[in-house]
Amino acid sequence: MQFSPAAAVEPDEVLSDPVLEKRARSISEGLRCLVCRNESIDESNAPLARDLRILVRERLVEGDADDEVIEFVVARYGEYVLLKPNSGGSNLVLWLSGPAMLLIAGGVGLAFLRRRSRSVDASSQGLSADEQARLEEILKE
């Protein structure tokens, strides 16, 4: 009998077929416990995690492929259940929005600095002859 100290899989959950059990463990390590948040269902002691482990094993015994089991769980609980979400489709927007916002902020900052340096250069040229004459006239009064 094989024991894993980090796993919360109970003995009554373990499949008799070692190949199916290995596949179940592999799938369980990639699914998030919806109660514990950042633990896989393989590591979690939560009742929901136990139910998900049993569900995964039932689907494997029924003959589902690994991808089919994962698709079934995702269809039931949403993509949040995946510890490593897909980087395609609508998630692609989320993956790209961070770097895009950084580039936009850098562009806005650069434009602000350029505009600011131009305005400082224009104001440091001094007064024109007309402006100087007008200033002297105001100071005499």
Strand partners, 40: 32
Contact 83, 32 (CB under 8 A): yes
| pLDDT for the residue 5 | 42
The closest of 93, 95, 113, 115 to 105, measured between CA atoms, is: 113
Do residues 53 and 7 lie in contact, with contact meaning Cβ atoms separated by under 8 Å? no
**Residue 117 in tokens:** 């340096």
Q: Please state the φ and ψ torsions of residue 40, each to the nearest 5 degrees.
A: -80, 160
- Supply the DSSP symbol for 7: -
User: What's the pLDDT at 123?
Assistant: 58
pLDDT by 10-residue block (mean), the chain, 141 residues: 53 82 90 86 88 92 91 90 77 84 95 82 70 88 76
Rounded distance between C-alpha atoms, residue 106 and residue 98, angstroms: 12
Inter-residue contact 61 to 114 (CB < 8 Å) = no
